[in-house]
Amino acid sequence: MEFERIMTATFSVTGRFGGILSLPARLMGALQAAVLGAVLLCLPAHANAAPAAPTTSAAAGAHVYLMRGFANIFSLGLDQIAVRLDRQGIPVSVHNYISWAAVADEAAALYRSGRIKTIILVGHSSGATYLPDMVARLDQHGVPVKLAIGLDSIFHTSLTGRVGRYINFYIANGAGTRVEQTSNFRGTLENVDVEQVPGVGHVSIDKNEVIQQKVIAAIDTAVVSGPSPDPMAAPALAPAPSVAKPAPKSKRAAN
């Protein structure tokens, strides 16, 4: 590693000067800590860089709809995600899965009015089960879904319609299931088994810190990349091809 090379070179150089190695252990420890801090400051910053934060304009054009599961009390991790998104300036609202159709219709109306441009859906448990229905309903309205994230859907579901990216986090050895796609689906589907994530379970998946970070990172990426193309927008007309006019016949040729 570059870090180890720098540290080895640093202390091999200091060891050549008389008296350095005979310093008290506490002072030597402080010296090592100071050198370590300086080295870390010089290391490339992109090694563990976080996803780019959405700009104000991009965030203002987006809306994240979080769909809770059964009884409205087992998906409170979505409320935590809502708080974190709100701190980033991303508009967000939390709903119970029972109102999925009304939420989809509201999102469609806001999209068609131009008030929102990027629609993102996240659901847990029963809320995840109804995400494919929301995608299909919005597609019937001619409204694109940029990103949809399901957290451990409890029933087998299949996708139709259009969505830029659909991520299904599920626990293979638990209650969760994979999501299948139909021939009428347009987009990208990712089934991600998270059973190896420490502490994850059906009731806790939405509250798990690792899962929340994955969800928020995917949302940030979707918001930064901008809205999906409007499927109802009229395609741009290609310019008419130029037609070369035939050269006029000479009078001699006409005779």
Residue at 246 is within a domain = no
User: How far, in Å, CA of 139 to CA of 158, rounded?
Assistant: 15
Question: 84-101 burial by CB neighbour count: b if 16+ within 10 A, else e?
Answer: bbeeeebbbebbbbeebe
Predicted confidence at residue 9, as pLDDT, reads 39
Give ∠ CA 66-68-73 in degrees, rounded to 5: 140
**Are residues 150 and 91 part of one domain?**
yes
Instruction: Count structural domains, the chain.
Output: 2
Listing DSSP states for 228-255 in one string gives PP-TTSPPPPPPPPP-PPPPPPPHHHH-
**Are residues 132 and 163 part of one domain?**
yes
DSSP-based three-state secondary structure for 153: coil
Q: How far is residue 113 from each of residues 64, 108, 179, 228, measured CA to CA in Å?
A: 17, 9, 32, 16
User: How far, in Å, CA of 168 to CA of 149, rounded?
Assistant: 6
Domain residues for the domain of 20 are: 2-45
pTM of the model: 0.70
Predicted confidence at residue 230, as pLDDT, reads 65
Strands 118-124 and 92-96: unpaired
pLDDT digits (tens, 9 = 90+) for 172-206: 988 789 999 999 999 999 999 999 999 999 999 99
Whichever domain contains 63, its CATH number is 3.40.50.1820
Determine the longest span between alpha carbons in the chain, in angstroms.
114
Which residues in the chain show pLDDT less than 70? 1-55, 57, 230-255
Residue at 247 is within a domain = no
**Are residues 184 and 102 part of one domain?**
yes
pLDDT digits (tens, 9 = 90+) for 115-137: 999 999 999 999 999 999 999 99
